[in-house]
Structure 1
Amino acid sequence: MRGRRRDEMKLLKLLDAGREEERENMESRIHEAALKGSVACLLELLEEDPLILDRTIDTDARMSETPLHVAAMLGHVDLARELLTRKPQLASGLNAKGSSPLHLASAKGYLQIVRDLISISPENCLARDQGGRTPLHLAAMKGRVAVLDELIRAKPEASRVPLTSRGETVLHLCVKHNRLEALKLLLEKDDESVNWKDEDGNTILHLAVVKKSIRTIRFLLANTRVEVNSLNANGCTALDVLAKGPGDAKDTTIYQILEGTGALRAKDIPPAAAGDEIPTAKTSSTNKQVKKPKPEKKRQTDWLGRKKSALMVVASLIATVAFQGVIAPPGGVWQDDLTTDSNGNPVEKPHFAGTSVLAYNIPIAYGQYIIFNTLGFLASLSIILLLVSGLPLKRRRWMWALMVIMWLAVSSLVLTYFISLLHMTPDSVKGVLYYVTKISVLAWLGLMGVVLLANFIRVKLWLARKYGVVKETQMNKPAVPMDPNHDYDSGDDF
């Protein structure tokens, strides 16, 4: 009796093993059909086992992917449509990473499959994988603009509500992965979350600065309501993030863009403005924006930045030319020593190797050359020193003083050129050349004098207005509307 029962148990185990092997074989075959995208193979398998798709749904926890996952991942439109027609429940199935077929199709950019999946189960637009990401997040990370548009039309709230496990909105992901076109589309649909912050307190502007994405920064500042002086969890504005980050060739351009729109360091933000709140991923309080600097302040900041850069370049060039002029003076230097003649007698005009030929032949001209060359050299060095010293040269009156020094350096360079040209030109060709050069130099000096006089008058008028010499009625005249396309570099704000 016991032997018979033992035989029955063995038989049952063999039958179960056979069924399990057959089931695994069918699952393997349907997986291969999904990899090939073969609808014919699928129909053949369904004829053999009409319940194979039901078993797939029941056993998807053991399988890495359902057939619909594979079709969505590989872009097999016909197979995906056949699977959805026969078993719509597959649309909500999750793989081992918690991703639905819509996650995979969105990441890959298969628009038609996305549409078919949405038509079956639009709620999957809000489904999250193990990383807290929705299909919209994955499409944004991959820059699938058409898919984004389709997902937002199906579920408009998908672009606003879902956040990743790090508190990132879909806008954060676009910036982090440098998907500008996707960012533009999302902001066209809804720009309410443009100032939301991730778990580190970073807005999308902070991230754009970290990524050094100049195009994204320009777009955000020109076309959105992004807060340029928002503070992150470390108390840093976008300008602080740029200053603390690793140096890059793009830093100067980004700095000028931010500064031109009123960006400030955290230490420069007034206390009242710094206390205002910006909506974050964890806060839905009333939007309070830090007041941006007035347009006049922005223009002045941009003007100062451009002038400083130009002055630094020109001053460096003049200093280089002046230094080279001392090493290689007009006429060159003596190549040998000459103190005695061939008979051993002292010569009338001795000279030594390495000294200037012009200094021996025309001492007065050499003295003039050295004076003006040294004046230009020291003036240019003074400009460089002031610009790199860190002194607060933030007002136009100081920039005006720097430009006066620059005019002095340039004028000295012109006079040095004139002296060199005059005394290096042979007498046989001096005639017309001398007079043309002389007239040109005088005209240049005259122009410089006019510019200096005009600016001197501007300073006097500014001082008169400041200390009440000009009548109050004149000061309160209506201002002429400013043309935003005009360059106000020569403004009167000292």
Structure 2
Amino acid sequence: MAEKKLYDAAIIGDLATLKQLLQTNQHLLDVVSFTSCLKNVLHIAIKKGHESVVAEVLKINPELALELDSNSSSSLHLAAARGNAGIAERLMEIAPEMCWWRDGHDMNPLHVAAVKGNVAVLEEMLRLDSFAATARLHRGQTVLHLCVKHRQLGTLKVLVKELGDKDLASAKDDDGETLLHFAVRTNQLEVLDYLNGSVRGLRLTKNSGGKTALDVLNDSFRNASTYTEMKTILKRFNSRPIAVSLPQFAEMTMVAAVLIATMAFQAAVSPPGGVWQETKTNSTTGEIIQKAGQAVMATEEPRKYIQFIQVNIVSFMSSLVAILFLATTGSSDQWIFPVLATFSMLVSMASIGVTYGLSLILTNPNMKEFGWRNSVVISVCVFAGAMFFIFVVSSFRSGTGRVKRFVKKAAGPASCNFV
């Protein structure tokens, strides 16, 4: 009879009756089973949201918080599902390790709070132990996968903001599916829009079936009202962000920059035509005519040699500037540094081309009248032709893809058989 009164008091939140019963017999809390659910008094009070009853029970018997119900759910699981941040805080003070306990569905309390959309409890748990959010579930799904799967944009925003973990946001489950796949499969435009604006480095990747989120959209949601908007957003993920390309870009460009700087330096210390091997003076006036170590062309063709040195300096300095920007790129994901490095490299490559042309003019008698202006024109034409070729190839590949999609759409699923 006393046990029944105790449970009734826990269900309705009658703190006075509960205190009176426990003052008479504190061992009533040791009774675990209630009907067929194997829930103790604390579990009942948590599920009903009676914070004062929970506080009284925990004060008398805090070890009761460690008991599991018939679903292997801890008291913290129940508080997370209920959404009571105050109760969750009390429980975590008693047993913080409960943040890692798994219930019968293989979820820890943080997962439960995320699935139920209980932001306040989720924030309290992240404050205590954010590492529990990295625990994987069945089929390798993350807590972010769960948020999208159960349409909980609010808890998704909290987790992305508090964790700030790009790797977690880009994680795949055992089927190779990302948050983008899940958002498309559940037709959630608002999730895609949020991910596009808030998560950096997220890209379209293929799942184990070889399909990207855009492929899934085209296959299953072409007639949905959100199709056009979702397709537009997904195409933004398809473009490779500059931060993803930085390591490979920096490595290749650094090699080229060092090579051009070496060539420019070598041209300065070993100029075309060589250097004078000995010093000669005018026998009459004693004036130095040529000095050992100086460039022969500086004496023979001073005007052209000055032009050669000027262009060579530009090539050398622009290569050093490119190296500086590339070194800065390694410790920053700002787009301005690789852009400046690319511009410096273009200047350096053009300058070394002009240096080559002037070297031919200085050393080849048949090219005396060629002039440095022609060297500049040739270098500019070569670079312009190369850039035009790159543009044409890129446009052709893009156009070919569009043509293939158009033909596939026009052909449709039907096929023709000829006898």
TM-score category by the smaller chain?
Answer: 0.5 to 0.7
1:55-104 deviation digits (Å, cap 9, x = unpaired)? 33xx5796432111111111101000001111111111111111112111
- For 2:123, the equivalent position in structure 1 comes to 149
Q: How large is the RMSD of aligned CA atoms in angstroms?
A: 2.9
1:405-461 deviation digits (Å, cap 9, x = unpaired)? xxxxxxxxxxxxxxxxxxxxxxxxxxxxxxxxxxxxxxxxxxxxxxxxxxxxxxxxx
CA distance in 1, matches of 2:60, 2:137: 33
- For 1:308, the equivalent position in structure 2 comes to none
Secondary structure in 2 matching 1:51:
helix
1:113 Cα shift? 0.7
CA distance in 2, matches of 1:208, 1:28: 47
* 1:473 aligned residue (380, 383, 390): 380
1:220 Cα shift? 1.6
CA distance in 2, matches of 1:214, 1:93: 41
Pairs aligned (count): 253
1:262 Cα shift? 2.2
CA distance in 1, matches of 2:187, 2:131: 30
116-125 or 197-206, which moves further after superposition?
197-206
CA distance in 2, matches of 1:111, 1:202: 32
Within 5 A, what are the aligned runs for 1:138-287? 138-160=112-134, 162-190=135-163, 191=165, 192-246=167-221, 247-262=223-238
CA distance in 2, matches of 1:291, 1:231: 22
Closer/same/farther in 2, CA of residues 186 and 49 from structure 1, 3 Å limit:
same
CA distance in 2, matches of 1:170, 1:207: 12
Secondary structure in 2 matching 1:231:
coil
CA distance in 2, matches of 1:84, 1:143: 26
1:84-128 deviation digits (Å, cap 9, x = unpaired)? 111111111111111112111111211111111111111111111
Closer/same/farther in 2, CA of residues 182 and 226 from structure 1, 3 Å limit:
farther
* 1:53 aligned residue (29, 33, 50): 29
* 2:108 aligned residue (117, 134, 148): 134
CA distance in 2, matches of 1:53, 1:117: 17
Secondary structure in 2 matching 1:185:
helix
Structure 1 residue runs of 4 or more that deviate by more than 4 Å after TM superposition: 59-63, 288-292, 474-477
- For 2:342, the equivalent position in structure 1 comes to none
Secondary structure in 2 matching 1:197:
coil
1:210-229 deviation digits (Å, cap 9, x = unpaired)? 12212211222332245422
CA distance in 1, matches of 2:244, 2:110: 28
- For 2:291, the equivalent position in structure 1 comes to none
* 1:93 aligned residue (63, 67, 81): 67
Closer/same/farther in 2, CA of residues 133 and 95 from structure 1, 3 Å limit:
same
CA distance in 2, matches of 1:217, 1:63: 41
Q: 2:204, 2:237 within 8 Å by CA — same for their partners in 1?
A: no
CA distance in 2, matches of 1:290, 1:64: 56
Closer/same/farther in 2, CA of residues 63 and 215 from structure 1, 3 Å limit:
closer
- For 1:42, the equivalent position in structure 2 comes to 18
**One-letter code aligned to 1:185:** V
Secondary structure in 1 matching 2:233:
helix
Within 5 A, what are the aligned runs for 1:2-13? none
Closer/same/farther in 2, CA of residues 31 and 194 from structure 1, 3 Å limit:
same
Closer/same/farther in 2, CA of residues 475 and 42 from structure 1, 3 Å limit:
farther
Flag the structure with larger Rg: 1
Q: 1:239, 1:263 within 8 Å by CA — same for their partners in 2?
A: no
CA distance in 2, matches of 1:471, 1:145: 65
1:252 Cα shift? 1.1
Closer/same/farther in 2, CA of residues 230 and 68 from structure 1, 3 Å limit:
same
Q: 2:80, 2:118 within 8 Å by CA — same for their partners in 1?
A: yes
Q: 1:73, 1:101 within 8 Å by CA — same for their partners in 2?
A: no
**One-letter code aligned to 2:5:** R
Closer/same/farther in 2, CA of residues 48 and 84 from structure 1, 3 Å limit:
same
Identity of aligned residues (%): 36
- For 1:395, the equivalent position in structure 2 comes to none
CA distance in 2, matches of 1:90, 1:196: 37
Secondary structure in 2 matching 1:202:
coil
Q: 1:132, 1:163 within 8 Å by CA — same for their partners in 2?
A: no
1:35 Cα shift? 0.4
* 1:102 aligned residue (54, 76, 96): 76
Where does structure 2 lack aligned partners over 5 or more consecutive residues? 250-376, 385-397, 400-419
1:232 Cα shift? 1.3
CA distance in 2, matches of 1:126, 1:194: 20
Secondary structure in 2 matching 1:261:
helix
1:134-165 deviation digits (Å, cap 9, x = unpaired)? 111111112211211110111121111x2223
1:167 Cα shift? 2.4
Q: 1:91, 1:101 within 8 Å by CA — same for their partners in 2?
A: yes
TM-score, normalised via structure 1 length: 0.47
**One-letter code aligned to 2:209:** N
Residue 28 (str. 1) matches residue 4 (str. 2): yes
**One-letter code aligned to 1:200:** D
**One-letter code aligned to 2:150:** H
CA distance in 2, matches of 1:245, 1:120: 49
**One-letter code aligned to 1:216:** V
**One-letter code aligned to 2:94:** I
Closer/same/farther in 2, CA of residues 476 and 95 from structure 1, 3 Å limit:
same
TM-score, normalised via structure 2 length: 0.55
1:176 Cα shift? 1.1
**One-letter code aligned to 1:175:** V
**One-letter code aligned to 2:380:** T
Secondary structure in 2 matching 1:193:
helix
* 1:84 aligned residue (47, 52, 58): 58
